[in-house]
Structure 1
Amino acid sequence: MWKEHYDVLIVGAGVAGSALAHALSTLSATRARPLKIALLERSLAEPDRIVGELLQPGGVNALKELGMEDCLEGIDAVPVKGYCVVRAGGDETVHIPYPAGHEGRSFHHGRFIQNLRAKARAAPRVTVLEATVNELIECDLTHRVLGVEATPKETGVKESFFADLVVVADGCFSKFRTQVLSGSATPKPATRSHFLGAVLTDAPLPLAQHGTVCLVKDSGPVLLYQIGTHDTRMLVDLKEPLPADPKAHVLAHIVPQLPPSLHVPVEKALEADRLRRMPNSFLPGAEQGTSHQKEGAVLLGDAWNMRHPLTGGGMTVAFNDVVMLSRLLVSLDDLHDWSRVSRALHTWHWRRKRLAATVNILSVALYDLFGAEDEHLEVLRTGCFKYFELGGDCVAGPVGLLSAITPSPFLLFRHFFAVAFYSIWVMFTHPRPVPVPGQLKPVMAKPGIDEYPALLLKSVRVFWTACVVFGPLMWIELF
């Protein structure tokens, strides 16, 4: 059956979809004909996910620009003032505070989403409908996307919904991603690893109101951050193949490397509940509005662009994308005019680069260092930790990038290779464990001059490894 025609139809009432519905309604309120928006979501029940629970300061600022900062209230959200990086065993820590006057927020994902949806529902001319979107409706002749076929939960009967523009924001497992973009632009997510998640009760973190990154041996990093008065999220990064018994693996190999104060809370959490699993994917944001894209449809959020969640930058990128895209779309008189929409998408693609590229490159590059798999990456990981210990700009610069307060791909380039060169310096000048025959524990000793030729050769390999990690990411994200 034919339903009412909308200006914009948004598939997915998650972070990006709900924010865009509210933004388009608010910004178009002063137009002669404000936009009419439909927001479709398969289930409006509170979602239960193990990621999307930390919003960086840059994301908080974007939320304020959207007039949605009150969505952080009433959900027991916790202020986040920075990070604490911990070496295996908890003996060495480094404090990485956010820039003065800035703070992030952490919370239960589902509670935050429900507030975003409520905000969208309250916006004028926004219709929120619980319905399963089955397929995109295309014109037989031009293949332009005209709307969607969806089954509302209330009726259980498949219906057609039409709009000048369809925005697909159905998340990381998007069923329409490859239908909207085709050919060489077809997005292909790459799974970097998996997060195993649990909620700890009353767990004492090394620094209150700080996200904690634990660097463990022979594994990816472990993240911990408070998401409520009594709840702390733990995420354990593991690469494939995953162990047959994840709980046993975490208890035997991960927990002993965490700070001692966390051992009992982790053991209790694993005893009380299962470990939840989530793939960590990387998906560069291909330019939209090109010949490889179906006219009449736009991808947004994780349906289009993903980065490793190690740095908690996903929602920050999404909210900033919504800020820019909503302004560009509202400036158009006719959203059915694809030539004008495509030009707006081109502008959006390049305008978002400064922040999105910084967050995306940093997330994957930092993950490669923190989840070191070989001896050269291990040198870089050690050097990164020592670089943070220097303090001053060696902390202020990287945390400005991490928090999305001062996004700059070229500043990121400078700090990344400063870490690379400093890692080489550390390798030559700092004590490292040296096995001693007859002793169980190694002793700490600086390299001797006789070791310099081998270390010089290793330095070249370390620098090459840094180039291999950073170079392709820089190229993919910026060009």
Structure 2
Amino acid sequence: MADTYDVLIVGAGVAGSSLAHALATAPRPKPLRIAVLERSLEEPDRIVGELLQPGGWDALRAIGLGSVVEDIDAAKCVGYCVVDATAGKTVEIPYPGKNEGRSFHHGRLIMNLRAAARRAPGVELIEATVTSLIEDDSSKRRVIGVRASLKGEEEKRPFYANLVVVADGCFSNFRNSVLSENAVKPVTKSHFIGTILKDVVLPIPNCGTVALVKGSGPVLMYQISKHDTRILMDVKQPLPADLKEHILSHIAPQLPHSVQPALRLALDNDRLRRMPNSYLPPSPQGSASLKPGVMLIGDSWNMRHPLTGGGMTVAFSDIAILAPLLAGVPDVSDWTQVKRALDQWYRVRKPLASTVNILSVALYDLFGADSPELEVLRKGCFKYFELGGECINGPVSILSALAPSPSLLTYHFFSVAFYSIWVLFTHPQLVPGPSNQKPRYAVARVDQYPFLLFKSVRVFYTACVVFGPLLWQEMFKNTGPSRRTVVLSLAVLAAVATVIF
């Protein structure tokens, strides 16, 4: 006889395990019977999902899982340090107040999340490989379960449930099946190449370090245990044939001197790991065109660039919002009620999720500059941080998910754009000359202003091209902008222009 559950979750990773715990512990008249199916319950080994922003930690505590970052040798993170390798400068960007994040080995966190899910009432963790979704024969649309083979068995057996939640990660096998014609293919711009540095000294202790290197994407470093520091090097497509040689020749020499010996040692002793950096915008899951009985959560549904470490923050925030909404559904087999909860979840999650998503991709485009206009914006962004005060507090509050506001993000992004233009006119710029001579910098002359004015227009246009489509995709595409949102966005842009000029 096939097993039947109230909720069946495919995947016991960050999203799946925490959702199982949150649903099982949320107050409701009748407890849920929940099954979580995972291909392997052994400790996973991945190079992402290791940095939790303060806002994500707040969400983790909100669903009763704050203790999972304990007893795993986690390192505290109190902010960021941005290193401009070209200019030889460093700027510290601390989290506001006494807020902290945590960084750790991904696998250790997952094992704690699974243990917490297993202890929750009514939750069963099953080691099995899910091969397909089961649809109701009468309608050929409603999903009523999955087929899976238990570990060590070849035979596929059915598992039935009133609600199936797909949380199988960025390489989801079921995303297209669930979303049907609404499915969007993830966009991959680059890969993170990662390894672990042993006993390295970062420029500022307990701060994630972002190194801006010339000719390559940004390099991210953060401590994940007492002796281990993760380094993630962004390499754009197509990947070089010899990654090790590429790193040694083009990336390593531009990193802080305290890091270089440890990186060379790691390249000699350890294998390089790679992970695609993909962007996948969310789409409404209450749509009538989607299959009833099934939903997506986590990276199987929504991804952003991992540069800002926002993936787990969005996942835990999503669950903190979704679990109470589903707990308010008396019967999860009633798709009309579930659909209403999903619609509300999609609206409520939008400010935080959209802010994190937009920032991650826009910041990567600036820090991974590959055009003259983006180089201007990148330099302006760094100098914007050097101003200190609200020019640091605002952006880092957004990055840490403590101030999830698309309007605030819009304000600071275009403040950077306008300030970049100001820097172009008023700050010393590199003067082209023979390669064998010492670099020379000079402020622009008046006769150069016409060219710089033309370049400024291109810089502002580039900023709009980077930010505008992301804002539309995240905030407006699927729901349409409200009059209040449109007016607020225009007011923010007008205020930015007034303040800058």
Q: Same fold (TM over 0.5)?
A: yes
Q: CA deviation at 1:442?
A: 1.8
Query: Which of 365, 387, 392 is 1:390 aligned to?
Result: 387
Aligned partners of 2:190, 2:176: CA distance in 1, in Å? 22
Aligned counterpart, 1:174? 172
Aligned partners of 2:207, 2:296: CA distance in 1, in Å? 33
Q: CA deviation at 1:192?
A: 1.6
Once the two structures are superposed, what CA deviation does each residue of 1:202-250 show, in whole Å capped at 9, x if it has no partner? 1110001000000001110000000010000000001111100000000
Aligned partners of 2:39, 2:33: CA distance in 1, in Å? 20
Whether 1:45 and 2:58 are equivalent positions in the alignment is no
Once the two structures are superposed, what CA deviation does each residue of 1:96-136 show, in whole Å capped at 9, x if it has no partner? 00011210000000000000000000111000000000110
Q: CA deviation at 1:188?
A: 1.3
Aligned counterpart, 2:496? none
- The verdict on how the C-alpha distance between 1:438 and 1:340 changes in structure 2, with shifts beyond 3 A counting, is closer
Once the two structures are superposed, what CA deviation does each residue of 1:349-371 show, in whole Å capped at 9, x if it has no partner? 01000100000000000000000
Aligned counterpart, 2:10? 11
Q: CA deviation at 1:440?
A: 1.5
Query: Which of 119, 122, 129 is 1:125 aligned to?
Result: 122
Aligned counterpart, 1:251? 248
Q: CA deviation at 1:459?
A: 0.2
Corresponding letter in the other structure for 2:41: L
Determine helix, strand or coil for the equivalent of 1:116: helix
Determine helix, strand or coil for the equivalent of 1:260: coil
Determine helix, strand or coil for the equivalent of 2:138: coil
Structure 1 residues 427-436 or 317-326, which shifts more?
427-436
1:29-428 matches, within 5 Å, as 31-88=28-85, 91-142=88-139, 143-153=141-151, 155-183=153-181, 185-428=182-425
- The verdict on how the C-alpha distance between 1:438 and 1:406 changes in structure 2, with shifts beyond 3 A counting, is closer
- The verdict on how the C-alpha distance between 1:438 and 1:102 changes in structure 2, with shifts beyond 3 A counting, is closer
CA contact (8 A) 2:192 2:232 kept: yes
- The verdict on how the C-alpha distance between 1:407 and 1:438 changes in structure 2, with shifts beyond 3 A counting, is closer
Aligned counterpart, 1:25? 24
Q: CA deviation at 1:375?
A: 0.1
Corresponding letter in the other structure for 1:264: P
CA contact (8 A) 1:209 1:226 kept: yes
- The verdict on how the C-alpha distance between 1:119 and 1:436 changes in structure 2, with shifts beyond 3 A counting, is same
Once the two structures are superposed, what CA deviation does each residue of 1:228-275 show, in whole Å capped at 9, x if it has no partner? 100000000011111000000000000011111111000000000111
Q: CA deviation at 1:292?
A: 2.4
Corresponding letter in the other structure for 2:462: T
CA contact (8 A) 2:36 2:124 kept: yes
Q: CA deviation at 1:157?
A: 3.1
Unaligned runs of 5+ in 1: none
Q: CA deviation at 1:444?
A: 1.4
Corresponding letter in the other structure for 2:5: Y
- The verdict on how the C-alpha distance between 1:367 and 1:179 changes in structure 2, with shifts beyond 3 A counting, is same
Corresponding letter in the other structure for 2:14: V
Corresponding letter in the other structure for 1:17: G
Unaligned runs of 5+ in 2: 477-501
Aligned partners of 2:282, 2:435: CA distance in 1, in Å? 55
Name the TM-score, length of structure 2 as normaliser: 0.93
Name the TM-score, length of structure 1 as normaliser: 0.98
Aligned partners of 1:99, 1:443: CA distance in 2, in Å? 37
CA contact (8 A) 1:192 1:308 kept: no
Aligned partners of 2:435, 2:71: CA distance in 1, in Å? 60
Q: CA deviation at 1:433?
A: 1.5
Q: CA deviation at 1:140?
A: 2.2
Q: CA deviation at 1:3?
A: 2.2
Query: Which of 452, 455, 458 is 2:455 aligned to?
Result: 458
Determine helix, strand or coil for the equivalent of 2:262: helix
Aligned length: 475
CA contact (8 A) 1:89 1:256 kept: no
Q: CA deviation at 1:461?
A: 0.2
Corresponding letter in the other structure for 1:367: Y
CA contact (8 A) 1:283 1:305 kept: yes
Once the two structures are superposed, what CA deviation does each residue of 1:23-60 show, in whole Å capped at 9, x if it has no partner? 000004xx332111001100001000000000000000
CA contact (8 A) 1:196 1:236 kept: yes
Aligned partners of 1:435, 1:168: CA distance in 2, in Å? 55
Q: CA deviation at 1:437?
A: 5.1
Determine helix, strand or coil for the equivalent of 2:290: coil
- The verdict on how the C-alpha distance between 1:148 and 1:438 changes in structure 2, with shifts beyond 3 A counting, is closer
Identical columns (%):
63
CA contact (8 A) 1:90 1:257 kept: no
Aligned partners of 1:361, 1:25: CA distance in 2, in Å? 32
CA contact (8 A) 2:3 2:158 kept: no
Aligned counterpart, 2:482? none
Q: CA deviation at 1:155?
A: 4.5
Aligned partners of 1:15, 1:275: CA distance in 2, in Å? 23
Aligned partners of 1:187, 1:35: CA distance in 2, in Å? 32
Q: CA deviation at 1:89?
A: 5.7
